Structure 1
Amino acid sequence: MERYNSAAELVAARKPERPVLCARPHAAGRAARWFLENFEGDVAYAYKANSSVFLIGALFGAGIRHFDVASLPEIEDAATIPGANLHFMHPVKSREAIRRAYHEHGVRSFALDSEDELRKIVEETSDSSGPARDLALFVRIAVPAINSRIPLERKFGTGGQLAARLLVEARQVAGDLGITFHVGSQTMTPDAYVNALGEVQRLIGMAGVVVDRLDVGGGFPSVYPNMQPAPLARFLSAIEEGVDKMPVRDNVRLMCEPGRALVAEAESVVVRVEARRGNDLFINDGGYGILFDAAHLGWIYPARLVSRDVGPSEPLVPFELWGPTCDSIDHMKGPFLLPASIREGDYLEIGNVGAYGRAIAGDFNGYGRYEEAILDDEPMMTLYADAETPAALLR
């Protein structure tokens, strides 16, 4: 893997024909260290966010040993990590996935949100001697998405009397009983966690069970041009305050599942301008590739010209981007602010695409193939001010 000081140096050296995925492992490691130092519990990386070996290696090097996995292929991949603790947190799993996760890969931690799922887990982890006695079972409860850019509460989660009954039933078979929730992806303020922890406390009282573990899920944000979230320290303070109010505080083991907050800054993509039509730029990656969220959710990523220098007086003007496929929905409205002189053959770096871009990219119309490189410079936007003291997080 070739290494460069910057995207500009990469372009000057390679003039790449394909888009280039540029990893910044140091950014992932820095974010991981911050969570490990500031969250009072297990930090489980959400594997689905980005499974790049370079970023996983950086997270491991920083001390991450817990991983939130959602499928058998993710388990098979993550199980190769030395000393990895895997948590199968998808609430609906196939019987084969449960069975192989438990018996072949040593997974003991499972999420569920229904009696049917509980039954599947018990049946598929049993052997000739009877039911497994070493399961950590997390009942996923539904909580509202408050100030979240991608709400997730409609598909999974249980509540009310159904949740209380499921907690009681899971308690009978679990070595450790846990509760988990997800407040939604890119949650901008801590309010959602405050509300969710209040619901956890209410359900524990309703069920009358002892809870051993509490997983506050993911949702921790990153920073983008039109999204400036509250400092991450405020999220952790809100979680700590909410947990402190619970009667189980002294005995419960905490876990969180950051994905975006660990890797969003740690990858960018270098693309080439294939045509310009007014303020529309046609580039060689798009909504079927790394820029899925820009096309389908309207997200704006930082962008800059990296193939030539422009004068400081040249104005930045808003552009819309079009991807390389034949589909007219392959369109990133932006606006993306770039120098007014942008032309065919220029290369752009689009930053902060490390969360879910690589994971979602496909090969529609034969596109979706990337070169790769490592960059040593700083991300285009960061929540982390320096290597070990992210001052922006502490305001």
Structure 2
Amino acid sequence: MSSIVVFILFVICLIIAIPVSISLGIVAVLPGAFDSSFTASASYVIRSMLGGIDGFPLLAVPMFVLAGILMAHGQISKKLFDVFSYFLGKRTAGIPCAVIITCLFYGAISGSAPATVAAVGSMTIPLLVEMGYEKDFSTAIVAVAGGLGVIIPPSIPFIMYAMASGESVSDLFLAGIVPGLMIGALLIFYAYYHCKKYGEDKEKINAKIDELHEKGFLRVLKDSFFALLSPVIVLGCIYTGVASPTEAAVISVFYALIVSLFIYKTIKIRELWGILREAMQTYAPILFILAASTAFSRVLTLMQVPQMVSAWILAHVTNKIILILVVNIFLLIVGMVMDTTPAILILSPILLPIVESIGMNPIHFGVMMIVNLAVGFVTPPIGVNLFVASSLTKVPVMDIAKKAMPMVGYFLLALLLIAFIPAISLFLL
């Protein structure tokens, strides 16, 4: 069976709404089923699936998922938003900027874009609307800023890329810091421009911020201290060598549990089973996709698909700049129609040899790939962040997408800078 037929069957499975993990499993088994001489028999595929989920770094993913859910239930995002609003609230675009910075910080806790949108959006969108901001603008800014959750470390997609490429998780986390901050700064610039152009209801904003100021700086800082400390502890453990990313993920779970149960007292012991169940329901689909993607990528390797794709592209595109643009456009399209995890696991083995042949650092490529796929979180038809944000506000997905387009434009500007200036990603390495 040719590789083209395999990909056509995979696309057909997706079109007829077969789940991604099952689609991957089907197309991984087919080449061996139709050709008995092919190495990848059904038993080989099953062994590959089990081997794909048997890795120490992979344990970080369910731990970060659980930590994110604990902190969402523990109202950590509200504590973060309060302290940023205290300082920025009365400035032009201060509240939208506080939302973006909250997404940055929460992304450094949860490692997940949809989790960031859900946790930050459920608390901030009603407040933004109450202060006079348009509902679709409020929803769009949270949806787009939530994409920072997969770029700012710790990032679940970076862990997946490390699994697929063999690169260091810690190096990828370091490489994501400057790009994440740069994208955050560009979104803040757009928020300032939007509020300057369309105006703000200063009376409502000042009334709300005055309530916060009445508490006093020390009380607000005291309430927010442990929330602000959480990303410092998680990332500090990794970069000081105290813990590996996987061990830091476990630390983040215990930290979130202790802070939410005993300090903020926003979670009751009886609620823990429901939180654990939610974490399992969130992680289980990722686990199945990971297992099936690993088997599929090994089958593709045996069929020499990466070598064929690499040879074809390099034969037809000789200019380095054009090649990077082609790869970026391809990843943007993939991000629009495929979830991040299978996209990373399927495409990394195919695209990495191509970019390495023109001298691109694998860490640099990993950051570029994740930023591309982060754009997919806020672009139809998949646009997970759009659907999460829509579920919070009942604003139609396409209305959010239209309002998000200018911000996506700034995301794309950042992507171009990241793609053609390697130092942005590699500065801290």
Give the TM-score normalised by structure 1: 0.28
**Higher helix proportion, which one?**
2
Instruction: Compare relative contact order (CA 8 Å, sep 6+) and give the higher one, 1 or 2.
Output: 2
Give the TM-score normalised by structure 2: 0.27
**Higher strand proportion, which one?**
1
